[in-house]
Structure 1
Amino acid sequence: MEIIAYLIDFILHVDKHLEAFVVAYGPWVYALLFAIIFVETGVVVMPFLPGDSLLFVVGAMCGVGLMSYPLTVGLLFVAAVLGNQSNYTIGRYFGPKVFQWEDSRFFNKRAFNQAHDFYEKYGGITIVAARFMPFLRTFAPFVAGVAQMTRSKFTFYDVTGGALWVGGIITAGYFFGSVPWVKANLDKIIWAMILLPGVLVLFGAWKGRRKAAAGAL
């Protein structure tokens, strides 16, 4: 329970934790961030790690000179691309066995099925769109592997989505993270970055089911 409480506190106050880490350990923060982004995108059982909010806060830290903007963008872009490649590889070679798993503490089969349906409907562009959706961005490359999407096609969407996600959100944090209103409401912004994409996905799924039900009548 203490680990869960700390993780929640880290996600909601990631700005304070990262700033303290930079003060204490300096350049080691780049290794920490690389590991978080790689694991969050590359290990299918780790979808709860911070992603969007972390990138935004990192951008804000770059904006005030605590970190290097070009180094951070380049390094985390590589982490995001390699993470997806790892997840894709896991799905390609081990994914079919997952369909035999039951819900467990480490794998939510319902969430996996939702990601699978989303991928089946929207195809390769899912890899790009899912970058901006917590949980789905962890499952989408895994599902692409399960679906035997070709490596070259997957890599194209992986690189494109990674560049837009990492570059876009870090840049937004760089320019807007130090705005007084943003700093005063950062906790609310983090909640919005976590919850809003999920609400949009659920709304889209609900509309899809209504349309399918109406078509069956």
Structure 2
Amino acid sequence: MSALLDPQHLLSSFGTLGVFVILFAETGLLVGFFLPGDSLLFTAGLLTATGVSSSVHLSLVPVLLAAAGGALLGAEVGYLIGRAAGPALLERPEHRRRHAGVQRARAVLERYGHGKAIVLARFIPVVRTLMNPLAGTVGVPARTFTLWQCVGGLLWALGVTLAGHVLGGQIPGIDAYLLPIIAVVVVVSLLPVLVELLRSRRGTTSRR
């Protein structure tokens, strides 16, 4: 399990194919909510800036295509799963983390409306996994969903990857700094989840 959470291990083992598979699973399959999408994209971007003689080097264009393909196709599959399975799949309190994620995704959807919520969800771990089936479950029109998931998916997948690529190009010998940089990215990507947990606890406390 720990290997699935280590972006450097995933990329050194599976390369560009790993980018596509992990993003597809994280955005399209409910079991993929724990996968490291943000850190994987950023690390892949860093590794496109290493020299070709480095232990792990990826080519930028194939990585961008794999990232976009996995993010967009995964979201469509997640939406179709939501339309087919509906509440029976999502509304299961016994899966506490998934249930909490569904509630956060629903809150984002209700607060911002379809388009903005689908785009924003891409940048929130767990929520980006559950927003797609939730959109299918609550009946977001297919054209509306496809339009905004493509906008959000491309902004997220390409933007985070290119950010890693640009940073890698600015730091000579980026290989030596991969672990601390990945650790920072993981922490930053988890901040929205931690903020939401604090809000939920405060809300629970205030109702007592």
**Structure 2 counterpart of 1:200, which letter?**
P
Report the CA distance between 1:207 and its aligned residue. Answer: 6.0
How do 1:121-200 residues align onto structure 2 when only pairs under 5 Å count?
121-124=111-114, 125-177=116-168, 179=171, 186-200=178-192
- 2:32 is aligned to 46
> Matched residue of 2:58: which SS?
coil
Report the CA distance between 1:171 and its aligned residue. Answer: 0.7
> Matched residue of 1:134: which SS?
coil
Number of aligned pairs? 199
Distance 1:17 1:186 in 2: 14
> Matched residue of 2:122: which SS?
helix
Distance 1:195 1:95 in 2: 33
* 5+ residue gaps, structure 1: 23-28
Q: Deviations over 1:174-215 (max 9, x none)?
A: 11125259755544443443343443355367669979x99x
Change (3 A) 1:50 1:76: same
Distance 1:35 1:118 in 2: 26
- 1:34 is aligned to 20
How do 1:13-162 residues align onto structure 2 when only pairs under 5 Å count?
14-15=7-8, 18-19=11-12, 21=13, 29-64=15-50, 65=52, 66-98=57-89, 101-104=92-95, 108-124=98-114, 125-162=116-153
Distance 2:111 2:201 in 1: 13
Decide whether the 8 Å contact of 2:125 with 2:190 is kept in 1: yes
Change (3 A) 1:143 1:193: farther
Aligned-pair identity in percent equals 32
Report the CA distance between 1:114 and its aligned residue. Answer: 2.1
Distance 1:164 1:114 in 2: 21
Q: Deviations over 1:27-72 (max 9, x none)?
A: xx23222111101111012111111111111111212242221121
Distance 2:165 2:101 in 1: 33
Range that drifts further, 174-183 or 119-128: 174-183
Structure 1 length-normalised TM: 0.77
Distance 2:201 2:10 in 1: 41
Q: Deviations over 1:64-121 (max 9, x none)?
A: 242221121122201110000011111122122135523238x632222222222221
- 1:7 is aligned to 4
Decide whether the 8 Å contact of 1:119 with 1:143 is kept in 2: no
Distance 1:185 1:170 in 2: 17
Change (3 A) 1:103 1:182: farther
Decide whether the 8 Å contact of 1:56 with 1:169 is kept in 2: yes
> Matched residue of 1:108: which SS?
helix
Q: State the superposition RMSD in angstroms.
A: 3.0
Distance 1:55 1:158 in 2: 17
* 5+ residue gaps, structure 2: none
**Structure 2 counterpart of 1:50, which letter?**
P
Decide whether the 8 Å contact of 2:82 with 2:133 is kept in 1: yes
